[in-house]
Amino acid sequence: MELTKKINYRDNIVSLVSKAGVYIVFAVLIIWFSSANKRFLTIDNLLLILRQAAPIGIAAIGMTFVMVTGGIDISLGRNMFFVSAIVSYMVGRGGMLPLSLFDTPVGYLLVILISVVLGCLIGWINGELTARFHILPFIVTLSVGCILRGIGLWFTASATPSMVFFSPIANGRVFGIPVVIILFAVALIIFDIVLKKTVFGRQIMAIGNAPNAALKAGINVRRTVVLTYMLCGALAAFGGILSAGQIGGVALSFGEGNEFTAISAAVIGGTSLFGGKARIIPGTIVGIVLITTIMNGLAMINASPYVYTIVRGLIIFAAVMLDSMHFKGYTK
């Protein structure tokens, strides 16, 4: 039973604002940034924005899947840190993967495989703890995040191990197009189909809508929810090594707070924190590109680096505020 019921037209206004609002904000920002700095609207800069958006964008796709079932994964940023730390350790200090491997594709494939497997494992732990024991997902993933960070820091020895070996993929280009952008585009298309057209996608939508009814409809809810966390873990790990490869190293604060960028991106794109509602194309892509554009624009207008945090906070607040207001209308 709900406590408050609102008048219809208000919901309509809210839904209109939350649908078109993003594009309006987008347009206004682009006009503002491009008038403040001529370099903003150049091909190079736009490509830069997309390149920066791609790794967290890939992770945000995973977050979208978790959010569809009504879950959340705030270990995402620390997952990125943990996996990159281990990979860089294996190549560097640990000496398990010799640099010569990277003369052929074998090395890259191996690194990607290791990351994805580790990411799946993290997701499996998150998922099992959430779905089997019914612990609030943000408590589970908060604690798992702490554990990942603790172990990850040991692997980096609290220094900044190099990830330069992964640069050919993270910073490379094919036919002049950055590889990460291609990877991002492929991931978007694949997972948009997974969400909209496959049995798994429809089942997680059903679970997010009414978990008990989903159980009665014969859906293996626990297994499906665990799968979403595994998918999120794998995509986050993959996004993590791409991001670390772009930067060239795993800094002490690498990954911190990325989960909230991913959540904001998903929510701006029309995915609900309350489950049962998701959009990857154009949703998540619009969300992540908008956020990256704002960060890029802030750099262009020479804003103080300390303003970034505040702006990120404001973006999350605004996005979730609209989602929450919309939610009331949705459940009525």
CB contact at 8 A, 2 and 307: no
CB contact at 8 A, 181 and 169: no
- Of 208 and 245, the one with the shorter C-beta distance to another protein is 208
User: In what helix (H) or strand (E) does residue 321 lie, and over which residues does it extend?
Assistant: helix 305-331
Instruction: Determine the 3-state secondary structure of 173 from DSSP.
Output: strand
- Give the shortest CB-150-to-another protein separation in angstroms: 3
- Give the shortest CB-266-to-another protein separation in angstroms: 11
- Of 13 and 310, the one with the shorter C-beta distance to another protein is 310
What secondary structure does DSSP assign to 256-312, as a single string?
Answer: TTHHHHHHHHHHHTT--TTSS---IIIIIHHHHHHHHHHHHHHHHTT--HHHHHHHH
Q: Would you say how long the chain is, in residues?
A: 332
- Give the shortest CB-280-to-another protein separation in angstroms: 15
Q: How far apart are CA 125 and CA 130, in angstroms?
A: 8
User: Which residue's structure tokens are 């350790």?
Assistant: 89
- Of 99 and 301, the one with the shorter C-beta distance to another protein is 301
- Of 79 and 203, the one with the shorter C-beta distance to another protein is 203
Centroid of chain to Cα 111: 20
Q: How far apart are CA 295 and CA 301, in angstroms?
A: 10
Q: How far apart are CA 229 and CA 72, in angstroms?
A: 9
- Of 31 and 135, the one with the shorter C-beta distance to another protein is 135
Q: How far apart are CA 157 and CA 169, in angstroms?
A: 25
- Give the shortest CB-54-to-another protein separation in angstroms: 23
- Of 35 and 317, the one with the shorter C-beta distance to another protein is 317
- Give the shortest CB-68-to-another protein separation in angstroms: 10
- Of 98 and 313, the one with the shorter C-beta distance to another protein is 313
User: In what helix (H) or strand (E) does residue 177 lie, and over which residues does it extend?
Assistant: strand 177-178
- Give the shortest CB-47-to-another protein separation in angstroms: 28
- Of 175 and 306, the one with the shorter C-beta distance to another protein is 306
- Give the shortest CB-317-to-another protein separation in angstroms: 4
Q: How far apart are CA 203 and CA 92, in angstroms?
A: 42
First vs last C-alpha separation in the chain = 10
- Give the shortest CB-44-to-another protein separation in angstroms: 29
β partners of residue 249: 162
